[in-house]
Structures are given as structure tokens and as C-alpha cells.
Amino acid sequence: MKSVRYRRSHIRASILDYLRRATSHPSAEEVHEAVKRTHPKVSFGTVYRNLNILVDQGEAKRLESSRERDRFDARRPFHAHFRCDSCGRLYDLPLDTEKIVDELAGMTGHKVSDHQIDFSGICSSCAGEG
């Protein structure tokens, strides 16, 4: 259990609100641009720090990539992703991740507190070109 207490923050609430509505899996830079509309003076560092807090708190997921900037996602329920190696788009997958977690728990006895399921390859629209 994490015992760190965080101060309530209007900035953090705005970030979470934006992330819960965004379907584009924004990068930290894009989140900063969006939050600046309502908090014009907010710095990138503040946004980045608050994004990390949201990830620590389990409110948001960081979608890491070795090739491009990390993206963030706070849409519920948490879901699996497919990343296209060609166009870089991130797709939400209609996989029942809760069921996978339940099956895993049944098979192994492990208690899952967090999970992230990611696939990559060539998306259907890129594969269909040419």
C-alpha cells in the first residue's frame, strides 16, 4: 500500500478530467496544451509531475513506447491496446481484460492489482494500403 498523501490540486483534477474524456491517448505535451486552455500559466513540469502522481495513484495509465513519447490514458474500464508500428496510432481493443485477470487468478492464485496488455503490429488501415 502506498502511504504517500498528495495535496488536492485543481491542476491534477483538470488533467484527469481531460484524460478521462480524451480518446486520442495524448502525450504529456498534448496534455499540457489542453490544460493550458483553462490554466494558462501552468508549466510543463507541473503537468508532468501531476501525470506521474495520477499514474502512481492508479488513476491513469502510462503507455510506454521505446520509439515515441509515452502516452497517457485514464478511460475506464482499463483496456488493452494495439499500437501500429507503421502509423503509430494506438487503438483500444475490445478485449475482456477483467476476464483475463480472473482466469489468471484462477490458474495461478496470484492476486492481480494492476495490469497492462499491449499488442503491436500493423493496423488494419495501414495493412490495407498499397
- List residues binding Zn ion (CB under 5 A): 73, 84, 86-87, 92, 123, 126
Least distance from Zn ion to the Cβ atom of residue 7, Å = 28
Q: For residue 83, give the nearest of 48, 116, 130 by alpha carbon.
A: 116
Taking the least distance from each CB to Zn ion, the nearer of 102 and 121 is 121
Least distance from Zn ion to the Cβ atom of residue 85, Å = 8
Instruction: Write the DSSP assignment of 40-100 as a string of letters.
Output: TT--HHHHHHHHHHHHHTTSSEEE--SSS--EEE--SS--EEEEETTT--EEEE---HHHH
Taking the least distance from each CB to Zn ion, the nearer of 20 and 110 is 20
Least distance from Zn ion to the Cβ atom of residue 109, Å = 29
